[in-house]
Amino acid sequence: MEIVEEEATHVVNIPRFNEGLLAKMEDRFSKSIYPSTLPPETRTTDKRCIFRIPRRLNNINGKLLKPQVVALGPYHYGKPQLQNMEEFKWRCLAKFMKSRKGKLEECLIELGLLEKEVRECYSESESETINLSSDELLQMMVIDGFFILMLLVIAEVNQDEQDRDLYRFVIYYNPISSLDVVILPKIYGDLLLLENQIPSCVLKTLYRICTSSHKSLLVIATNFLWSVSVIPESRNIYDSLEWLHLLDLVRMIFISRAHNKEMRRTYNYKPFSPIPCVTKLRHAGIKVNRHMADNFFDVKFKNGILMYNDNGDKTGASLFIESLSV
């Protein structure tokens, strides 16, 4: 008897859809991939660059992410626990402007032209901007921007006393010398908090008006970051970076170091590998301890122990390392 094998047949019902939908979606894909084909009214104009810390991170490690001593910018403006430094900032500006008639008016005029740009930097959403009047915003930009500028310039003068233009900037009054040595590192830490940033356009405008130095603000800012051990070298190697604020400058420096072949050869730079969070390190059996060192980048690993710099202060570098626990 002949046996005939029959193949099992499975019938799959494919649901039908509007045949025009495929073409419609593919056309939409092309517009998403090539933004230049979008009409001008639909292109993004989002210029936000200074954000609030997400609530999730605030709940975990909020104390490290909020200013301890000084409020800079609108997010912590007027907070009672930060008012002690407000009078100090006013005193810094008053001493400088006292012998420079007309400079304050020039600052107010030029920064007033930047109001829209500054507001867009701080927008908390695409439809909501910071809740400050034009006068409040302008006053805050002058006072806070000048305070940051003063810290950068004083650090530069301490490194290069031969720069007479910058030396004249601080010769009449160096307010930093009157600060408690415990407070100064906390101020440096507050300068590098995301919610405590001032747009670079404000700092550049004030620097141009208030000084006549041939040095760029970028050079002075990088030298400052090096002096407080936030970046590993200063010198004039970042002269073409575009930066949005001081913390963004730190970010751009590390990005440029990773991509600049000449810099990698000069400084024997090795590609950056992210350090796992402390929780993962401990689960892997690694202990995390602190040790005294002069440089933020002096991180050592030996015999299953990761040791990082703790020089007793709360600079942005120390806060950055402690945030590993998040």
Please compute the mean of the pLDDT values over residues 288-299 and round it to a whole number. 64
Provide the pLDDT for residue 110. Answer: 94
Residue 195: its pLDDT value, please? Answer: 92
83 or 320, greater pLDDT:
83
- Residue among 184, 224, 227, 221 at smallest CA distance from 313: 184
Average pLDDT, the chain: 76
Q: Is the pLDDT of residue 296 over 80?
A: no
Q: What span, in angstroms and rounded, lies between the C-alpha atoms of 315 and 312?
A: 9
Q: Per-residue pLDDT for 114 more than 90?
A: yes
Question: Is residue 243 a contact partner of residue 231, using CB atoms and an 8 Å limit?
Answer: no
What pLDDT was estimated at residue 42? Answer: 42
Q: Give dist(CA 189, CA 206) in Å, integer.
A: 22
Residue boundaries of the structural domains of the chain:
55-215, 278-325
Reported as a single tens digit per residue, the pLDDT across 31-58 is: 555 444 444 444 445 678 998 887 777 6
> What strand order describes the sheet that includes 287-291?
287-291, 305-309, 300-302
Classify the phi-psi angles of 235: left when phi > 0, otherwise alpha if psi is within -120 to 50, otherwise beta.
left
- DSSP structure string for 164-216: HHHHHHHSS--GGGGS-TTHHHHHHHHHT-GGG---HHHHHHHHHHH---SS-
- Read off the pLDDT of residues 59-86 as tens digits, 9 standing for 90 and up: 666 677 889 999 999 999 989 999 989 9
Its pTM surpasses 0.85 = no
Res 40: pLDDT: 47
Coil, strand, or helix at residue 305? strand
Euclidean distance between CA atoms 231 and 233, whole angstroms: 6
More confident residue, 317 or 302: 302
If one compares 103 and 311, the residue with the highest pLDDT of the two is 103
In tens, the pLDDT along 189-200 reads: 999 999 999 999
